[in-house]
């Protein structure tokens, strides 16, 4: 008699997604680029916490670069490496959209690290007992932009990995995000109007403090940090949904397109609300 082979019981989509997402998250956490980014994050933060000033929230640029920007490369390479043995993976029971969803969930790994980082910095700010001129709400909002950027970068990597096939696409995406972000700092040079805020805040990541000259007093840009965070989250949703559209078929694809349209409207709305807030600058 031959032994009866144990077959996995047919699982629900949710269970499959959880298993896949856990596997992808482990792969993400083991990626050398991610680990190097975490080390860099720890080092850069530790060296900056010594001379904290009132705008400690702008430290968010550190996770945005170390986790978000580096995450573009990680997300891209993870996506490419799952699609390489094409036929074998395509034939597996989990369909493409599900695998993309799992990859998108794995992008929460750097988000979790960034969240821990934000708590660390917030505690350090509280301990430093600075004169809080800008209020804790704003400060926390600024820190949150870094957390969202740490998730958004990898999502863009997944998106690019799904839709393009050439090997350097991850690098190009990282450059595009950086260039876009830097170009938007031009908004800080403009006069403090709502249009200036729009130029400043349409970036995927924004820093908030600047000064009118090397020796001039620093100020905090206008606009609403929390509506800006909402705009960033909507961008993340757009990236994840657009990545899933690539593999989806039939009714699911139509539904994803609809979600994409809704998210686009939401993103524009959040950006408008972020810019609609008082554009005047707060001197620190």
Partner 1 sequence: MSTSTGGWHADEDLLSRYVRGDAGPVAAASLEQHLLRCASCRDRIAAHVPVPLLDAAWERVRDEAVAGRPRRLERLLVRLGVPAPDALLVATAPSLRTSWLVGLVVTLVFVGLGAAYGGDRGLTFFLLVAPLVPVAGVAFAYGPDADPSHEAALATPYPATRLLLLRTAAVLAASLPPVLLAALLVPALSWTAVAWLLPALSLTAALLAASTWVRPTVTAAALGAGWTAAVTSASRAADPTAVLAPALLVAYAVLGCLALLVLALRSRSLTTLGSPS
Rank residues 164 and 193 by Cβ distance to partner 1 and give the closer one: 164
Q: Whole-number minimum distance, CB 196 to partner 1, in Å? A: 13
The nearest distance, CB 179 to partner 1, in angstroms, is: 3
Q: How far is the CB of 18 from partner 1 (least distance, A)?
A: 33
Is 45 a residue that touches partner 1 (CB under 8 A)?
A: no
Helix 108-128 × helix 32-48 angle, to 10°:
10
Q: Which residues contact 270 (CB under 8 A, 6 or more apart)?
A: 227, 228, 230, 231, 233, 234
What is the spatial distance between Cα 273 and Cα 252, in angstroms, rounded to a whole number? 31
CB of 230 to partner 1, least distance (A): 25
Question: Any idea what the Cα angle at residue 198 is, between residues 155 and 202, rounded to 5°?
Answer: 10
CB–CB of 211/218 below 8 Å?
A: yes
Size of the site for partner 1 (CB under 8 A): 21
Looking at the Cβ atoms of 139 and 207, the one nearer to partner 1 is 207
Q: How far apart are CA 236 and CA 206, in angstroms?
A: 15
Output 52 or 176, the one with its CB closest to partner 1: 176
Cβ closer to partner 1: 92 or 182? Answer: 182
Site for partner 1 in 163-222 (CB under 8 A): 164-169, 171-172, 175-176, 178-186, 189
- Which residues in the 110-169 window bind partner 1 by CB under 8 A? 164-169
What is the distance between the alpha carbons of residues 170 and 150, in angstroms, rounded to a whole number?
A: 15
Is the separation of the CB atoms in 92 and 174 below 8 Å? Answer: no
Per the DSSP assignment, residues forming a β-bridge with 218 are 211
| Residue whose CB is less far from partner 1, 7 or 165 | 165
Q: Which residues of the shown chain bind partner 1 in the complex (CB under 8 A)?
A: 36, 164-169, 171-172, 175-176, 178-186, 189
């Amino acid at each position: 008699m031959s032994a009866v082979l144990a077959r996995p019981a047919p699982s629900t989509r949710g269970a499959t997604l959880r298993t896949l997402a856990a596997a992808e998250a482990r792969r993400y956490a083991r990626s050398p680029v991610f680990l190097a980014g975490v080390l860099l994050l720890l080092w850069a933060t530790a060296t900056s916490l010594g001379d904290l000033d009132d705008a400690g929230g702008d430290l968010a640029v550190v996770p945005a670069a170390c986790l978000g920007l580096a995450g573009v490369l990680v997300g891209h390479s993870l996506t490419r490496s799952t699609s390489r043995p094409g036929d074998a993976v395509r034939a597996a029971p989990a369909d493409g959209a599900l695998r993309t969803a799992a990859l998108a969930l794995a992008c929460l790994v750097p988000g979790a690290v960034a969240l821990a980082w934000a708590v660390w910095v917030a505690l350090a700010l509280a301990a430093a007992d600075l004169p809080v001129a800008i209020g804790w709400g704003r400060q926390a909002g600024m820190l949150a932009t870094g957390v969202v950027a740490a998730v958004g970068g990898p999502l863009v990597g997944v998106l690019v990995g799904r839709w393009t096939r050439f090997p350097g696409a991850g690098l190009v995406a990282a450059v595009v995000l950086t260039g876009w972000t830097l170009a938007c700092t031009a908004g800080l040079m403009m006069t403090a109007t709502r249009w200036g805020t729009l130029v400043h805040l349409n970036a995927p990541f924004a820093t908030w403090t600047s000064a009118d000259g090397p020796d001039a007093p620093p100020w905090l840009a206008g606009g609403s940090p929390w509506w800006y965070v909402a705009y960033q989250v909507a961008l993340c949703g757009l990236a994840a949904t657009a990545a899933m559209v690539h593999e989806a078929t039939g009714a699911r694809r139509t539904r994803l397109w609809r979600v994409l349209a809704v998210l686009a409207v939401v993103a524009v709305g959040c950006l408008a609300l972020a810019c609609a807030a008082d554009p005047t600058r707060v001197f620190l």
